[in-house]
Amino acid sequence: MLARRAATRDRMLLSAAARFVALLGLMAMLGASAYADVALEERKLPMRFSWVTCQPNCRGWVSAVGIVTAETPGDFDEFARRHQLKGETVVLDSSGGSVNDSIALGRRFRELGMLTTVGVSVLTHSARGERANVSPEAYCESMCVFLLLSGKLRYVPEQAHVRVHQIWMGDRADNARAASYSAEDLMTVERDIGRLAKYTFDMGGAGDLLSLSLNVPPWEDLHELSREELRVTNLITNDKVAQLGSPNAAVVELTSKSLQGLFVSIATAASAGQE
């Protein structure tokens, strides 16, 4: 019985990893920035969720575009009731949003074992019909970065922009230096920083992420994380070598093989496991 459960768990892990890497392959093939301008305004509107189908190449993914508001966690719950989302991939393109609502949403992603990446979902039309792809030229800013952190597996393409800054009171963020603040305002900010710190460590993030974020005031340009900073903050997992036999053993070869080579090896293993 235990052996059968272990085999079922391994097949599920390989299947999820295969779908995730298939999506990464699509992102690698679509490197153009043609859709970046179209997505710019959408990522500043309230977040919306949609299921993107990419048959016959992969199962599909969740597109999450826009800023997180007080309504977003509830909107996601309603979306989740209409779809089987456990172990699926969330493609993020967002300018951030509410601290506490982003934390709530991130915890929902983690509870479902979802995988996260940054990109813009696009549909192209041809003689063969409609085809879905992901453009890697996308942005994940402010609290979106902490949504990215909630993924069980996390991937950031080279062309994506992941940018951080301090959390601030939303009604005074546009003129933060000139605004006035009460003791209660300071208490609110410090309380939210504490919640964000707990969330960061619960999600497996590093203190470096908090340090980099909290060093950038709202009147300065957001800090774009380098590839090295994405690694030290634990925002990406794709170039880490997992220990053999661990739950993440399916991504053990990410550092030693190309994306396409990895896709072939994982897809083959998943197919063999399901026979």
Residue 200 has what pLDDT? Answer: 97
Residue 29 has what pLDDT? Answer: 44
DSSP characters for 161-215? EEEE-----GGGGGGTTT----HHHHHHHHHHHHHHHHHHHHTT--HHHHHHHHT
User: Can you tell me the distance from the alpha carbon of 160 to that of 240, in angstroms, rounded to the nearest whole number?
Assistant: 19
Positions of the chain with pLDDT lower than 50, given as ranges: 2, 6, 27-36, 240-275
**Positive or negative CA dihedral for 18, 64, 42, 154?**
negative
Residue 140 has what pLDDT? Answer: 97
User: Can you tell me the distance from the alpha carbon of 198 to that of 164, in angstroms, rounded to the nearest whole number?
Assistant: 18
Q: How many CA atoms lie within 13 A of 223 on its CB side?
A: 17
**Is domain 29-241 classified as CATH 3.90.226.10?**
yes
- Phi, psi (rounded to 5 degrees) for 173: -70, -30
Q: How many CA atoms lie within 13 A of 132 on its CB side?
A: 21
User: Can you tell me the distance from the alpha carbon of 264 to that of 259, in angstroms, rounded to the nearest whole number?
Assistant: 9
Whether 200 and 233 have beta carbons less than 8 Å apart is answered as no
pTM: predicted TM-score of the whole model, two decimal places: 0.74
Q: How distant, in Å, are the alpha carbons of 8, 14, 32, 118, 255 from that of 231? A: 31, 23, 25, 15, 13
